[in-house]
Amino acid sequence: MQYFEPNFVDEALVLLDRFGSGARLLAGGTRLGFALRSDPRDVAALINLKRIRELERVEERDGTLRIGALVTAQRIATTPVIREHAPLLARAAGSMGARQLRSIATVGGNICSGDPASDLVVALVACGARCEIAGVEEPSRVLPLERWLDERATGVQAKELIGWVHVPVTQHVAAYEKMTQRRAFEMALVAVAFRAQREGAALRDVRIALGGVGPAVLRARGAEAVLSGAPLSAASAREAARTAAERDARPRDDARASAEYRRHLVTTLVERAIRNACGDIAGIAS
Amino acid sequence: MPERSGSATIGSKLPRLDSPAKAQGQAVYVADLQPQDALAAALLRSPHPFARIVSIDIGDAKQMPGVRAIAYSGNTPAKSLDFGIKDQLLFPRDLVRYAGEPVAAIAAETEDQARAAATAVKVAYEPLAPVLSIEEALAPGAPLVHPDWQSYEKGANRVTDRNICGLNRIRRGDVTAALARADAVVESSFIFSAGAPGYLEPRAAIALREPDGGLTVWCGSQSPYGNRDDLADFFGLDPQRVRFINQFVGGGFGGKILMAAEWYAAALALQCDRPVRLVFSRHEDGLNLFPRHGGKATFRSGASKEGRLLGMEAAFFFDTGAYVGYGAGTALIATMLASAPYRIPAVDLSATLVYTNKQVAGSVRAPGGPQATFAKELHIDELALALGMDPLEFRLRNAWQDGDRSPTGQLLEGVRVKETLEEAARAIGWEARRAPGRGVGIACSWWFSACGRSEARVEVRDDGSVHVHSGNPEVGTGSAAGALPLIVADRLGIDPTAIVLTLGDTATQTYDGGVGGSASTFSAGQAVKAAAEDVRRQLLERAEEALEARRDDIELREGRAQVRGAADHGIPIGELAAQAGTPIAGRGVTEEISDPEFDASLVQSHDFASWLAPSFVTSAAEVEVDASTGRVVVHKIATAQDVGFAVNPAGVVGQIEGGAVQALGYGLCEELQFGPAGIINTGFHDYLLPTIIDAPKVEAIMVESPSGAGPFGMKGVGEPPVTTPAAAIGNAIRNAAGAVPYTVPMTPERVWRAVKDRRDSRI
Amino acid sequence: MVEPQSSLLSVLRDHLKLTGTKEGCSTGYCGACTVLVDGEPVNACLFFAVDADHRSVTTIEGLSPERGELHPLQSAFIESGGLQCGFCTPGMIMSALGLLLAHPAPDEAAVREALAGNLCRCTGYQSIVAGVLEAAPKVRGADAAPARKRARSRA
Ligand SMILES: Cc1cc2nc3c(=O)[nH]c(=O)nc-3n(C[C@H](O)[C@H](O)[C@H](O)COP(=O)(O)OP(=O)(O)OC[C@H]3O[C@@H](n4cnc5c(N)ncnc54)[C@H](O)[C@@H]3O)c2cc1C
């Protein structure tokens, strides 16, 4: 195995091009390490991204929060601009694993791990995040995170890397709800992120993301439609929660929980998220 | 009252002697030993839960680079291990009986080479339909886990019948008649999941064949002497030439009583002349761990409307896995706990042990305790509720008192059930009003003190140092590193921190039965006390001469022998040893304590029908239940425990606090899961131990009622505190949410379902 | 041989023979191998050794270098009974140190939050929390940033 420490994104891309499917990008390594150590045989090149300083940056510019792919969960949870403009994301990051893990795990690595219950992805999808992708063929493209996840699931983009994550900065209300079996240090059974813009008693641009109830993180589009544009009420919150559970979620039985229970959690957590985000709207807070 | 003497250090709070080394990372555990020339070992394990071994071919593996030894059924003794039923071989020959069962061991220059060679061992299997549950095992025509069960040698009280490998029963009075007379009768069924011991240090061992034909094994065991004897016996070695050197042990909880890594490292070391080092990964450790028994139970009991218990039927079934191992204890203890600590005139209590194609269940801390206590205490609450009685009041009304008899007819003395109930209830605020969603629960039980053979040596050297050798290993409980030095310090009037301890090294020739059955301080404490008293006597004798004083006037204090009231008229004890020209040494051995009497006509095939120096324990819990997710937050656990006499209070508190959280894990989140291909969750990401966030406030209350048998009147303390908290949590959940799952662990999903089912049934 | 994929844990334990840092699970789910890298707690089993290059790594051995002299956190764990089998202790102490370097006066909730990734099977955690709270004022006084001062080690 050859080992590289490129200093610039372009250098990393050249290496990706050169080694093709034998290349592995190393960010925090919390996901990659285990596989690499138990069977390093078909890895020709390990490309450590951590010398690429620009991927460590967090900045707010032109109404967009730009977070470098190497930013760790701990920094996301604690960096003031993120806490100010995307508190939902900071919360989700702070609920990931435990302190030690958060020092290492990066947002880029987390997105690329493709985990259907990833706290960060659930939060980012609800935030309407976009990925800035650097590739050999096409220098840079920006696309919605969900699109990129879809593409990745279908196996394209081997010669690309995530450079930055863009989160739009707007006035909004938001909440994050995560259910686990024990009370900490565990991947979500179900995670729900809710974000919307308030216009009086009505909600606009509602985004609800669900983790743990499908092959990937899902948008609860049915539930979003229930809430969008209409005045929020206890009944509509309940209706949205039911829609999320019955129409949007696609849970399956597994060793940790039954599909039925996960579906029920979606109902409870979506309703709770709406209430926590919009608690001051009459009739919503219980 | 227990006698105190010298510096009166027993009963005082002493930080354990090993704590500075541990806090500095200097304590050496087996995996920290990395001998320069060690070979690395790897195991080949069965991928099938049940399969016939058609053939094993090690030819190719032997030729692999770096390979130095391969051990398997073809080159190790065909002798059965003896656990009361001779049903197990070191390496399987005809059948593999659980997925993960080691089939061969390989030693090579590097770990990678050993692993590569393991995959090159060719085993031809013919997979068989596995038996993966008690129901499957007991179904008519079920495949037999041990087709040859009838030919196995077994002990007198062992019952075997196809997939059954144990059955015991306690019967007194006429239960049917008693229940017919009862004003309220309830029946409840419970399911217990299997659990892992959960020690943080995966098991490991290093073995080296010595030039004289002997063998040295570096281990991290709860029972180095017992292991040595078993290993020597199996390989036909002289036990005196086999030396087990115990290192610090990163937790045992019953999971390190029987050997695992030691067997394979030793089998390989006997084939080569270099140390063989086998360190399990967490995953491998999980593949042949000794779990806490899963199982099920059905209870039926009745009481009069005045709240008197009249009769109880209880039937337990425990899934003991592929071999009987130490499984019998769980079933024996379960029947002893089933109706205790309550006066019930008529009982019929039975426990059946069942073979399945799973990991071999063992003696995890308080084997059978959490299971039986969970079932009986939730059942008792159900009965109290059926009678419309307060559960605490119901328990107090039926609790054993001095002079009562246990279900097997043992006379009970020094009974402290009431005190522990009252103390725990007070600590939790039983009567307090609580917010909606909050609730309290209580559960009580009893336990035994075990007394095994133990030997100790205490030695005062001419430099004044005091050396203590005990065979009792320190696995974390603080018995050996905390209580034993206190006892010696007390007898010799010295500062306990000045003691040099050598523990669990068989070269010191101080046999000890090991850590298990809450026996450590009880047994080793007696031996150490006797040894220290022997030394004390010798010191006083010598001081009599040296100080020209009457023996009765001399006291041992602060490392000196001195005339009472005349501190300047004395001599350091090291000086006495110097004058003697040799260390002043004493040996101590536990005295045989016979088990209390019981009525043999009340039991069937029961090897554990009376309990020595029994203790009593109650836990109360306060919980908050989020009924819409099933999430349970435990705010507090209060455990009141009759410890006899707390030799080392810091150690006792540590056992109670730790026991509470271990029991919380048992009750709420720990569950070994099995799929068609065997155990699923071997890791800490999927087998969930409680974290510091899950851990509640724990209040430890010591009730002291000295026993007649233990040193200073003490009783075993390690196991009782893990038996009651899960049951208290269960009862608190019902109190808070109106329903509780009768399945442990009470995961959020199960709690949610229990509450929902109750709601649904009311509509 | 140190390889590009080697974990910091294997370099510490197998190459540098610093065995105070324990290996409990190798998956990041027990915390026994926690060390500080530039003052931040990390799981040494997950952390790539190559990423420790030119950064300061503090292990339990670095806390009380002079024989017999204990770090306030070590003394507090001993006094409070915050250790039994001792296997989680080095990692637990390193996590606690990481917390106290960043937050010199944490409350109980902050202590629990910081130690959520360190499993202990023996103590029930209560004595550990007590130990950390007790040590906090002393750590504040004693060494504000031992990790940063320590010689930059090349793993
Ligand atoms: C103990 C533990 C607890 C955990 N708990 C949680 C939890 O509670 N919630 C949760 O959501 N997750 C949890 N996780 C998962 C964790 O968040 C991910 O492992 C982590 O975020 C991955 O990031 P990394 O930087 O370590 O990625 P790496 O392991 O370095 O990389 C992961 C994958 O992404 C690729 N990659 C990395 N960066 C890029 C990039 N910029 N562009 C393209 N490809 C890239 C790598 O090549 C690799 O294939 C846990 C993991 C562990 C080990």
Residue B214 has pLDDT above 80, yes or no: yes
**pLDDT at site B387:** 97
Closest by alpha carbon to B461, among B498, B504, B508, B505?
B498
A163 alpha carbon – ligand 1 mean position (Å): 15
Share above pLDDT 70 across residues of chain B, in percent, rounded to a whole number: 98
Interchain proximity B250–C87, CB inside 8 Å: yes
Q: What is the C-alpha separation between B443 and B373, in angstroms, rounded?
A: 8
DSSP labels, B181-249: H-SEEEEEEEEE--B----SS--EEEEEE-TTS-EEEEE--S-HHHHHHHHHHHHT--GGGEEEEE-B-
Interchain proximity B654–C122, CB inside 8 Å: yes
Residue B644 has pLDDT above 80, yes or no: yes
What pLDDT, in 10s, does the model give residues A131-177? Answer: 999 988 877 899 999 999 888 877 655 689 999 999 999 999 999 99
Specify whether the CB–CB gap between B666 and B687 falls below 8 A: no
Residue A195 has pLDDT above 80, yes or no: yes
Neighbours of chain B (3+ CB pairs under 8 A): A, C
* Contact residues on chain B for A97, CB-CB shorter than 8 A: none
Ligand 1 atom nearest to CA at A33: 29
Average pLDDT, rounded, for chain B = 94
Specify whether the CB–CB gap between C35 and C8 falls below 8 A: yes
Specify whether the CB–CB gap between B17 and B495 falls below 8 A: no
Q: Which CATH architecture has domain A2-168?
A: 2-Layer Sandwich (3.30)
What's the DSSP call for residue B322? S
Residue A193: which residues within 8 A CB-CB, separation 6 or more? A88, A92, A122, A123, A125, A126, A127, A174, A175, A176, A177, A207, A208, A209, A211, A273
- Among B17, B22, B218, B689, pick the best mutation site for testing chain C contact (most C Cβ within 10 A): B22
Paired tokens of B675: 């799929």
Q: What is the C-alpha separation between A184 and B441, in angstroms, rounded?
A: 24
DSSP labels, B330-351: HHHHHHHHTTTTB--SEEEEEE
Specify whether the CB–CB gap between B10 and B16 falls below 8 A: no
Query: B732-761 burial, b if ≥16 CB within 10 A, otherwise e?
Result: bbbbbbebbbbbbbbbbbbbbbbbbeeeee
| B593 against A269, higher pLDDT | A269
* Contact residues on chain A for C109, CB-CB shorter than 8 A: none
Nearest to B691 among A185, A256, A265 (CB): A185
Residue B318 has pLDDT above 80, yes or no: yes
Q: What is the rounded average pLDDT of the residues C94-105?
A: 97
Length of chain B: 763
Residue C155 has pLDDT above 60, yes or no: no
According to DSSP, the residues that pair with B215 across neighbouring strands are B209, B242
What pLDDT, in 10s, does the model give residues B253-275? Answer: 999 999 999 999 999 999 999 99
Residue A211 has pLDDT above 50, yes or no: yes
Q: How far is B95 from chain A (nearest CA, A)?
A: 28
Paired tokens of B586: 């004493």
For ligand 1, mutation pick of A16, A101, A178 (most atoms within 8 Å of CB): A101
Paired tokens of B230: 């078993």
**pLDDT at site B3:** 42
What pLDDT, in 10s, does the model give residues B359-408? Answer: 999 999 999 999 999 999 999 999 999 999 999 999 999 999 999 999 99
For ligand 1, mutation pick of A25, A121, A124 (most atoms within 8 Å of CB): A25
Residue B4 has pLDDT above 50, yes or no: no
Q: What is the C-alpha separation between B427 and B380, in angstroms, rounded?
A: 21
* Residue written as token pair 């109880």: B312
**pLDDT at site A281:** 65
Q: What is the C-alpha separation between B6 and B224, in angstroms, rounded?
A: 33
**pLDDT at site B677:** 86
Q: How confident is the model at residue B477 (pLDDT cuts 50, 70, 90)?
A: confident
Interchain proximity A101–C98, CB inside 8 Å: no
For residue B238, give the amino acid letter. Answer: D
What pLDDT, in 10s, does the model give residues B110-125? Answer: 999 999 999 999 999 9
Q: Which CATH architecture has domain A173-278?
A: 2-Layer Sandwich (3.30)
**Complex ipTM, two decimals?**
0.96
**B2-6, B203-207, B554-558, C22-26: least confidently modelled range:** B2-6
In degrees, to the nearest 5, what angle opens at C-alpha A10 toward C-alphas A9 and A15?
100
Torsion, CA C129, CA C133, CA C134, CA C136, rounded to 10: 140
DSSP labels, C94-142: HHHHHHHHH-SS--HHHHHHHTTT---SSS-SHHHHHHHHHHHHHHHHH
C 21-40: CB under 8 A from B: 21-27, 29-30, 32
For residue B468, give the amino acid letter. Answer: V
A69 alpha carbon – ligand 1 mean position (Å): 11
- Among B13, B24, B641, pick the best mutation site for testing chain C contact (most C Cβ within 10 A): B24
User: What SS3 state is found at B25?
Assistant: coil
Q: Note if the pTM is more than 0.90.
A: yes
- Helix axis angle, C72-80 to C126-142, nearest 10°: 150
Interchain proximity C7–A37, CB inside 8 Å: yes
| C37 against A229, higher pLDDT | C37
At CB < 8 Å, which residues of chain A contact C? 1, 3, 5, 26, 28-30, 33-34, 36-37, 40, 46, 48, 50, 74, 97-101, 103-104, 184-185
Residue ranges of the alpha helices (H) in B548-621? 573-580
Q: What is the C-alpha separation between A228 and A113, in angstroms, rounded?
A: 31
Interchain proximity B658–C122, CB inside 8 Å: yes
**pLDDT at site B479:** 81
Specify whether the CB–CB gap between B449 and B519 falls below 8 A: yes
User: What SS3 state is found at B522?
Assistant: helix
What's the DSSP call for residue B29? B
In degrees, to the nearest 5, what angle opens at C-alpha B418 toward C-alphas B416 and B420?
70
Instruction: Give how far Cα B544 sits from Cα of A281, B60, B466, Å.
Output: 89, 74, 20
Number of alpha carbons in the 13 Å side-chain half-sphere of residue B499: 33
What pLDDT, in 10s, does the model give residues A271-284? Answer: 999 999 998 665 65
Q: What is the C-alpha separation between B619 and B740, in angstroms, rounded?
A: 18
Residue A260 has pLDDT above 90, yes or no: yes
**pLDDT at site B9:** 64
- Among B200, B221, B670, pick the best mutation site for testing chain C contact (most C Cβ within 10 A): B200
Q: What is the C-alpha separation between B650 and B117, in angstroms, rounded?
A: 49
What pLDDT, in 10s, does the model give residues B143-189? Answer: 999 999 999 999 999 999 999 999 999 999 999 999 999 999 999 99
Residue C114 has pLDDT above 80, yes or no: yes
What pLDDT, in 10s, does the model give residues B405-461? Answer: 999 999 999 999 999 999 999 999 999 999 999 999 999 999 998 888 899 999 999
Nearest to C23 among B31, B251, B697 (CB): B31
In degrees, to the nearest 5, what angle opens at C-alpha B137 toward C-alphas B133 and B142?
130
Q: How confident is the model at residue B2 (pLDDT cuts 50, 70, 90)?
A: very low
* Contact residues on chain A for C132, CB-CB shorter than 8 A: none
3-state SS track over chain A: CEEECCCCHHHHHHHHHHHHHHEEEECCCCCHHHHHHHCCCCCCEEEEHHHCHHHHCEEEECCEEEEECCCEHHHHHHCHHHHHHCHHHHHHHHCCCCHHHHHHCEHHHHHHHCCCCCHHHHHHHHHCCEEEEEECCCCEEEEEHHHHHHHHHCCCCCCEEEEEEEEECCCCEEEEEEECCCCCCCCCCEEEEEEEEEECCEEEEEEEEEECCCCCCEECHHHHHHHECCECCHHHHHHHHHHHHHHHCCCCCCCCCCHHHHHHHHHHHHHHHHHHHCCCCCCCCC
Residue B326 has pLDDT above 70, yes or no: yes
Q: What domains can you pick out in chain B, each with its CATH number? A: 19-28+452-589 (3.30.365.10), 35-128+201-250+256-287 (3.90.1170.50), 294-450+597-762 (3.30.365.10)
User: What SS3 state is found at C39?
Assistant: coil
Q: What is the rounded average pLDDT of the residues B322-340?
A: 97
**pLDDT at site B565:** 86
**pLDDT at site B364:** 97
**B347-361, B507-521, C44-58, C87-101: least confidently modelled range:** B507-521
User: What SS3 state is found at C74?
Assistant: helix
Specify whether the CB–CB gap between B114 and B40 falls below 8 A: yes
Q: How confident is the model at residue B702 (pLDDT cuts 50, 70, 90)?
A: very high
**pLDDT at site B607:** 93
Average pLDDT, rounded, for chain A = 94
What pLDDT, in 10s, does the model give residues B523-533? Answer: 898 999 999 99
A114 alpha carbon – ligand 1 mean position (Å): 9
DSSP labels, B723-734: TSHHHHHHHHHH
Count the Cβ atoms, other than its own, within 10 Å of residue B412.
20
Search chain C and give the residue with CA nearest A103: C42
3-state SS track over C45-56: CCCEHHHHCCCC
Among protein residues, the one with the nearest Cα to ligand 1's atom 17 is: A110
Among protein residues, the one with the nearest Cα to ligand 1's atom 48 is: A32
Residue A58: which residues within 8 A CB-CB, separation 6 or more? A65, A66, A67, A68, A71, A75, A79, A81, A82
Q: How confident is the model at residue B668 (pLDDT cuts 50, 70, 90)?
A: very high
Q: What domains can you pick out in chain C, each with its CATH number? A: 1-155 (1.10.150.120)
Count the Cβ atoms, other than its own, within 10 Å of residue B611.
22
- Alpha carbon distance, N-terminus to C-terminus of chain B: 60
Specify whether the CB–CB gap between B666 and B745 falls below 8 A: yes
* Residue written as token pair 């959020």: B748
Q: Exposed/middle/buried for B360, CB within 10 Å: 0-12, 13-18, 19+? A: buried
**Domain residue extents for chain A:** 2-168, 173-278
User: What SS3 state is found at B587?
Assistant: strand
